[in-house]
Amino acid sequence: MSTPSSSDVLRRTGGRPVKSIVFDEPTIASRVAELGAEITEAYPDGDLLILGLLKGSFIFLSDLVRTIERPVQVDFLVASSYADGKVSSGTVRLLYDPETRLEGKHILVVEDIIDTGRTLRRLMEVLAARRPRSLAVCTLLDKGLAPEIRREVRFVGFQAPPAFLVGYGLDHAENFRHLPFIADLE
C-alpha cells in the first residue's frame, strides 16, 4: 500500500480530479487498528453492539470490527441529511432503525464523519431512550464543529480539515465511496 499516482487516482475516480489525498491507505489502516485496540480495552465485559451509520460508515465499520478483539454484535442505522448537496440540509430522516434490542448493552455508534452533528445528535436521543448500558460514538473523521456532542464522541480516527472529503466510504452524490484513500474533492 502506497500513495497512488495521479494516473491511478484519475482512473479510480473516472477522470474526476481531486485536490489532494488527505489520508492515504496505510495511514487509515494504521489508525483503524489503533481504534480497534482502544475499543477492545474500553469494553472488557458486557454485550457490545456496534451500530454502523449507513451508508458512509460501511467500509470503516467493516475494517474496524475485524480489529476489535472481543465478541461484538453488528447492526445498522440509516439516516439522511445531505441528499445530493455538499452541505447538511439540517433535516434528519431515519430510514432504517436497528432491529436488535438495545436495552442493557454497550452501544457504539460508528460514523464516517462528524460535520454539523445534527444527524448524530438526533440519533443519540433516539438510542438513549432505549436504555443502553452505555452509549458512545466512534468516528473516522471529526470536523470539530459540533461541541454539543463531545461527551458522546469517545473514539476519533482523525481531525478532518475544512474540505469536502470523499473516499473510504465518504461520497458525493453516491460517488467515490470505493476509493481506498480519503481525498479533498475539487
Q: Give the start-end residues of each E strand in the chain.
A: 18-23, 48-54, 73-80, 93-96, 106-114, 134-142, 153-159, 165-166, 182-185
pLDDT digits (tens, 9 = 90+) for 12-54: 777 677 889 999 999 999 999 999 999 999 999 999 999 999 8
| pLDDT of 122 higher than 60 | yes
Q: How far apart are CA 57 and CA 79, in angstroms?
A: 12
Q: What's the chain's average pLDDT? A: 87
Global pTM reads: 0.86
pLDDT of residue 119: 78
| pLDDT of 83 higher than 70 | no
Please count the CA atoms within 13 angstroms of the CA of 79 that sit on its side-chain side.
Answer: 26
At residue 101, what are phi and psi to the nearest 5 degrees? -70, 135
Q: Side chain identity at 137, as an amino acid letter?
A: V
Residue tagged 436504555 (cell numbers): 131
pLDDT digits (tens, 9 = 90+) for 145-182: 777 677 788 999 999 998 999 999 999 989 999 999 99
Domains annotated for the chain, with CATH where assigned, are 22-82+91-174 (3.40.50.2020)
Contact 91, 121 (CB under 8 A): no
Q: Is the dihedral of CA 113, 118, 121, 124 positive or negative?
A: negative
Per annotation, catalytic residue among 112, 115, 142, 171? 115
| pLDDT of 138 higher than 70 | yes
At residue 6, what are phi and psi to the nearest 5 degrees? -60, -40
Q: Does 115 qualify as catalytic in the annotation?
A: yes
- Side-by-side strand order, sheet with 18-23: 18-23, 182-185, 165-166
pLDDT of residue 182: 96
Contact 57, 70 (CB under 8 A): no
